[in-house]
Chain A
Amino acid sequence: MADLLGIASSGLGAIQQALKTTGHNIANVNTEGYSRQVADFTTRSSLRIGDSFLGRGVEIGTVRRAYDSFVVDELRNRGSKLGMASTFESLATGLDRLVGDSDNGLASALDGFFNAVQGVANDPGSISARQVLLSDAKILTDRFTQLNENMQGFERDTNNRISSSVSEINELATNIAELNADITFALGSGGEPNDLLDQRDALLLELSSKVGIITLEQTDGAVNVFVGKGQSLVVGGEAQQLQVVNNAVYPNRFEVGVSLPGGATQIISQQISGGELQGVLDFRSRVLDPAMSELGRVAVAMTDLFNAQHHLGMDLNGQLGGDFFSPLSPTVITSANNSTTAPVATVNLAIDNASDLEASDYLLVYDGAQWGLTRTADGTFFSDPAGNFAVDGLSVSVGGTPAAGDSFLLRPVYGAAGQFNLQLSAPEQFAAAAPVVSSQAVNNSGSGTISALSASSTGGLPLAGDISLSFNPDALGVGIPGFDVVGGPGGSLAFDPATESSGKTFTLVGSGDLSFTLGGIPDNGDVFTLSAGSGAPGDNRNALLMGAMQSQNLVDGGTATFGEAYSGMIGGVGVATRQAQANLQAEDSLMNNAVAAREGVSGVNLEQEAAELVRLQQAYQAAAHLVAIADTLFQTLLGATRR
């Protein structure tokens, strides 16, 4: 009887435990990362009586998690990818909105500026047209600096995200290490600490969304966590801390590092794969840097080329044109790790040809024998033992005594847009006029003409004196006609009216490298004069040349206009953002699949639990009946023996 009661009460107990488990499941239906628990019924060991084994009831063997380590690994893996994709996408979308916003847009400012140049060309003597030009130029430079500043905001944002990610990672690592210790202890004292395991899985999943991780489960139940190329983050109950360090060469740029034994810090930014951290680092190197460099390149090209043409003009005061935009000088940054033994290595960087500039930074590194120059945008490498380079419109030279490992960051364009500014202050200083005027003597009797006069160098300008060209049928010897040149370079210019009356172009080297076309049929002694301009109020020749720069391919090795270079930058950001969005969508649905897979294994289904309740309830009722039956049997026995 006692046995029967024992069996019945074992059933009641076990079923109660199972009911509790089901209740626990129902209660945790909305708990993130919770794994459904299953109470496994096992038969109690039986009692041997003679040849028979008599059952002794039931007990709960284990309460285990419905768990598949494969789907959980996959979930973490996807979590890393999704973390990366969503961070990249949100940053890229922000930048995309910024550059796409037409109020921020440079394109209309660029159009306005060149239209104002044409406005001056239409009425070069008008101070108000010149005033409009200066204010439109100011609007243009303000747009550049504004846009650059906004982009720098993104750079700061990436830094903030890196440091907040790193501190979150460190906190998560600490918590995981603590859980490791608890779990190891719990397992050591027997039984599965299901809820601790779930908590740790949830933390690992959160960690994987910050940074890509590799996990290794130890026999004692602890999980070791590694980042990058095997740098340990959690080993058993010990957590290692990641650090935010300043880049040695790039100013204001955070990197992720780990402490090495001995106190040194190793930068692991390059090795990080996955998670928000990689999303941030990728955005910086693949979207933000190229966009800022491109913007800077347009600013540098505008400044250099527009100034160069402005120098070749003459203002209303009869002075040669000065700088229209403030000159931009390329930046050289010396690595903080460079040798400090005098004489330290120094670098000279100059822009030779702004049209040939690439939208990139350059790293200049000395390896002990050679200087190597790497274009960071695409990794193109140049080397030279002496450190003299003439590449991409730049000239680089080094001084001092370099030590192996010395490195420099050369930034010809990056950030230059922030310094883009108007230099000209007075409207009459705009050099709309050409520096040289041509005239023919009033008493010329022939039909000779002079035209298409232009200067291409400031050397020899303004002209010291008039240069007169007089036609002489024997200028270069008897019967060889041409012009005798008096003033300037002197000498004679061969010109045969019989064959060259349709026009022949000459260049006077040294005197502004003036080029002009002589044509028609001059008579003996006919004179043409080139003289220094006076900045006449009606002379718009230089303004026309500057206005024409709008449609000339002056950027990117002569393949793009200023406007096209800018719109190319917009397109670059747009393409990257579009890719990021598509990537995020794909990662989102892969993540959904992974979540569905995990939920399929470990999720709580209320219907299932309800059915389980019904099943357990019935079993409980049956076991309770068994108690009643045992009781009845006992009473029967008592009744029988009372007599």
Chain B
Amino acid sequence: MTISSAQIFRQGINAILSQQEALLRTQAEISSGKRIQTPSDDPSGAVKILDLEEQIATAEQHLRNGLVVRTDLALEENAMTGAQNVLQRVRELVIQANNDTQSESTRQSIATEIRARRDELLALANTRNGSGDYLFAGFQTDSQPFSISGGSLVYHGDQGQRSVQVGPSSQIPINDPGVDVFQLIKNGNGTLSVDGASSNTGSGIVESLSQSGSLVSDTYAINFIQLSPTDPITYEVRDSSTTLVTSGNYVSGESISFNGAVIVLSGTPANGDSFTVSPAVNQDVFATLNNIIAALEAPSTELADTAHFHNAMGKGLNDLDQAMDNFSRIRSNIGSRLNNLDTQTEVNENFLLRMKEAASQVQDLDYAEAISRLGAQSTSLEAAQKVFIEVQGLSLFDFL
């Protein structure tokens, strides 16, 4: 077949042009460091990169969210540690005050200190975070959650708990509503609570209260009867519908058991004295402190006053223990949330690393390969140029 002169020229120039194109393409890859310049270079790779970038952006946001969680939980933990310290100090003071060697004036000064501690606790309950939001107000972060009105505590927050997204399917709560922390605390031993009637005149003191077997939940009155001083002291237990549950002779330090409740009294109750055993109810920690303060400041002149005082202190200690248990529960919740956050952060970081590696594998240029390709391509371009000049230089006309 004849090859026309124009064809020889065209072929030569086409070879040079296509070599140049490949060279430019390699140059663009090397200067951008990316294997994929436009989606058509590798459509599935381009899609994968977009998806990976979304994953990366999301994981980075989750890590940032984790910092918010850490900050707020650390703040709450600080507040709870402070609150626990307050209660611990109050507990020591109550034990100190419960000693018979205390005089009325020392009890008074103890009461003064507990009052100060109570105000400290109130301040802790109204803690704000860095952006001025109240920690313990539930969702109502802009209103002070606790105030004292008419001597009792008022909660202005709600029961909302805010969570933050720290993983694709993992949210961590970053607050506890104040009502859960400071208010929803069962009194007594958490199940039952016992009160001596204020009209009691004997020296009967509650030593302990516990449950055994299945408890029949009701309010029970333990009434002491001693018709004449020579008679043995007897007791009777009546339920809320005044039906007799049990009765017997009273022996100081021995337990009285009925319907699953076990109570130990000591001292000498007088005729007509009574104690009420009722299911525990929620009592806020400020009320507990106020009760203790009131008992410390009550006059103590008669024998019965001492019994009242000891009973109040004993009950106060129980209530304090419940509050401290609740604070510990909140703190351990915070701890487990922080643990959870640590785990999730590690998961996020690993995930992020893997996604970045995957994106890099899809997207990034293999420089070694590209540079050697560049070398090969420039050699071919040079060769094509040389051949072009050689071939074009050949002509029969040169010999005519």
Contact digits for B1-24, partner A, Cβ 8 Å, 1 yes 0 no:
111111100100010000000000
For chain A, the count of residues having a C-beta within 8 Å of the partner chain is 80
Are the C-beta atoms of B158 and A610 separated by less than 8 Å?
Answer: no
| Contact partner, A603, options B4, B137, B138, Cβ 8 Å | B4
Kindly count the residue-residue contacts between A and B in the assembled complex, taking CB atoms under 8 Å apart.
Answer: 201
Stretch at the interface among A185-193, A237-245, A543-551: A543-551
B251 located at the interface, meaning its Cβ lies under 8 Å from any Cβ of chain A in the complex: no
The reply to whether A539 and B400 form a contact with Cβ atoms under 8 Å apart is no
Contact B159 A437 (CB under 8 A): yes
When the two chains form the complex, which single residue of A523, A570, A606 contacts B47, counting CB atoms closer than 8 Å?
Answer: A570
CA distance in complex: A540, B165 (Å) = 11
**Chain A nearest Cβ from B322, distance in angstroms:** 14
Within 8 A of A (CB), among B132-160: 133, 137-142, 158-160
From known contacts A445-B281, A605-B2, infer whether A537 and B142 are also in contact, taking CB-CB under 8 Å: yes
User: Quick check: B395 and A606 within 8 Å, CB to CB?
Assistant: yes
Q: Name the contact of B46 in the complex, choosing from A126, A437, A536, A574 (C-beta under 8 A).
A: A574
Let me know if A599 is at the binding interface, CB within 8 A: yes
B184 CB–A CB distance under 8 Å: yes
Residue A172 is within 8 A (CB to CB) of chain B in the complex: no
Is B373 interfacial (CB-CB < 8 Å)? no
A564 contacts the other chain (Cβ, under 8 Å)? Answer: yes
Task: Say yes or no: is A568 at the interface (Cβ < 8 Å to chain B).
Answer: yes
CA distance A96 to B47 in the complex (A): 13
Decide if B279 touches A100 in the complex (CB within 8 Å): no
Does B168 sit at the interface, judged by CB under 8 A? Answer: yes
**Is there an interface contact between A96 and B51, defined as CB atoms closer than 8 Å?**
no
Q: Is A527 an interface residue (CB 8 A)?
A: no
The reply to whether the CB of A575 lies closer than 8 angstroms to some CB of chain B is yes
Asked whether A537 lies within 8 Å of B54 as measured between CB atoms, the reply is: no
Measured CA separation A600–B2 after assembly (Å): 5
Bound: A203/B245 CA distance, A? 119
Chain B residues within 8 Å of A614, by CB:
400
Q: Which residues of chain A come closer than 8 Å to B179, judged between CB atoms?
A: 442
Q: Does B7 contact A613, Cβ atoms closer than 8 Å? A: no
Determine whether B171 belongs to the interface, using a CB cutoff of 8 Å to chain A: yes
**Most chain A beta-carbon neighbours within 10 Å: one of B10, B39, B131, B138:** B39
A547 touches B165 (CB 8 A): yes
Do A115 and B46 touch (CB < 8 A)?
no
Query: Are B396 and A610 interface neighbours, CB within 8 A?
Result: yes
Determine whether the beta carbon of A563 is less than 8 Å from that of B395.
Answer: no
Are A606 and B3 in touch, CB under 8 angstroms?
A: no
Residue of B54, B140, B280, B282 contacting most chain A CB atoms (<10 Å): B54
> Which of A106-114, A321-329, A411-419, A622-630 forms part of the interface with chain B?
A106-114
Q: Mark A112-156, 1 if CB is under 8 A from B, else 0.
A: 101100100111111000000000000000000000000000000
Stretch at the interface among B57-65, B258-266, B325-333: B57-65
Judge if B40 is at the interface, Cβ distance under 8 Å: yes
Q: Give the nearest-CB partner of B134 in chain A.
A: A538
Q: Does B253 sit at the interface, judged by CB under 8 A?
A: no
* Chain A interface, >50% SS class: helix
Asked if A100 and B165 make an inter-chain contact with CB atoms under 8 angstroms apart, the answer reads: no
Using Cβ atoms and an 8 Å threshold, which residues of chain A touch B159? 437-440
Across the interface, A107 reaches (CB within 8 A) one of B3, B54, B160, B400, namely B54
Instruction: Write out the residue numbers on chain B whose beta carbons fall within 8 Å of the beta carbon of A478.
Output: none
Of the listed residues A122, A608, A610, the one surrounded by the most CB atoms of chain B closer than 10 A to its CB is A122
Q: Using Cβ atoms and an 8 Å threshold, which residues of chain A touch B294? A: none
> Do B51 and A564 touch across chains, with their CB atoms under 8 A apart?
yes
Closest CB in chain B relative to A109 CB, distance in Å: 11
- Taking a contact as CB atoms closer than 8 A, the residue among A123, A124, A536, A550 that contacts B158 in the complex is A536
Residue B248 is within 8 A (CB to CB) of chain A in the complex: no
A425 contacts chain B at the CB level, 8 A cutoff: no
- A217 on interface, CB distance cutoff 8 Å: no
Question: Are A577 and B38 in contact, with the CB atoms below 8 A?
Answer: yes
Given A100-B38, A536-B138, CB of A571 within 8 Å of CB of B47: yes
Of B7, B42, B46, B140, the residue contacting A596 (CB under 8 A) is B7
Residues of chain A with a CB closer than 8 A to B43's CB? 570-572, 574-575, 577-578
Bound complex: CA of A324 vs CA of B341, how far in Å?
A: 32
Chain B interface size range: 35 or more
Q: Does B44 contact A (CB under 8 A)?
A: yes
Nearest-CB distance from A85 to chain B (Å)?
14
A433 sits at the interface (CB 8 A): yes
Any B CB within 8 A of the CB of A29: yes
Residue B68 CB within 8 A of the other chain: yes
Considering the chains assembled together, what is the distance between the CA atoms of A613 and B400 in angstroms? 10
Q: In the complex, what distance in Å separates the CA atom of A108 from the CA atom of B53?
A: 8
Does any Cβ of A come within 8 Å of B183's Cβ? yes
Contact A538 B138 (CB under 8 A): yes
Q: Report the bound CA distance from A332 to B236 in whole Å.
A: 87
Structural contact, B68 and A570, CB atoms closer than 8 A? no
CB-contact partner of B396 in A110, A537, A567, A606, under 8 A:
A606
Taking the nearest CB of chain B, how far is it from the CB of A578, in angstroms? 4
Q: Which residue of A lies closest to B155 (CB)?
A: A442
**Inter-chain contacts of A544 with B (CB < 8 A):** 163, 165, 171
Let me know if A162 is at the binding interface, CB within 8 A: no
Contact of B141 among A111, A534, A537 (CB under 8 A): A537
In Å, the complex CA distance between A551 and B400 comes to 79
A550 touching B1, Cβ below 8 Å? no
- Most central of A99, A538, A563, A580 by chain B CB within 10 Å: A538
Collect the chain A residues with CB atoms within 8 Å of residue B171's CB.
Answer: 544
Contact yes or no, A445 B279, CB < 8 A: yes
Is A499's beta carbon under 8 Å from chain B? no
* A219 CB contacts on chain B under 8 angstroms: none
A581 adjacent to chain B (CB < 8 Å): yes
Shortest distance between the CB of A198 and any CB in chain B (Å): 14
Taking CB atoms, residues of chain B closer than 8 Å to A611 are: 396
Q: Hey, which chain A residues are within 8 Å of B163, CB to CB?
A: 540-541, 544
CA distance A30 to B168 in the complex (A): 68
Most buried by B among A93, A581, A610: A610
Residue of B nearest to A597 (CB): B1
User: Are B14 and A592 within 8 A (Cβ)?
Assistant: yes
- Check: B164 CB closer than 8 A to any chain A CB: yes
B47 near A568 with CB under 8 A, answer: yes
Q: In the complex, which residues of chain B have a beta carbon less than 8 angstroms from the beta carbon of A44?
A: none
By a CB distance below 8 angstroms, the chain A residues around B217 are 523
Q: Is A266 an interface position by the 8 A CB rule?
A: no
Whose C-beta in chain A lies nearest to the C-beta of B180?
A440
Q: Are B53 and A111 in contact (CB under 8 A)?
A: yes
Q: Are A29 and B6 in contact (CB under 8 A)?
A: yes
Contact indicator B39/A111 (Cβ below 8 Å): no
How far apart are A453's CB and chain B's nearest CB, in angstroms? 10
In the docked arrangement, what's the CA distance between A105 and B57, Å?
15
13 A–B contact pairs at CB < 8 A? A29-B5, A96-B39, A96-B40, A114-B58, A442-B282, A538-B137, A538-B175, A547-B165, A551-B168, A574-B41, A574-B43, A596-B7, A604-B4
The 6 A-B pairs with the shortest beta carbon distances in the complex, nearest first, are A603-B4, A574-B39, A574-B43, A538-B141, A536-B139, A577-B40
Given A105-B50, A439-B159, A540-B162, 4 more pairs with CB closer than 8 A: A541-B163, A544-B165, A567-B51, A596-B3
Interface residue ranges, A against B (CB under 8 Å): 29-30, 36, 92-93, 96-97, 99-100, 105, 107-108, 110-112, 114-115, 118, 121-126, 433, 437-440, 442-445, 523, 533-534, 536-541, 544, 547-548, 550-551, 561, 563-564, 566-568, 570-575, 577-578, 580-581, 592, 595-596, 599-608, 610-611, 613-614
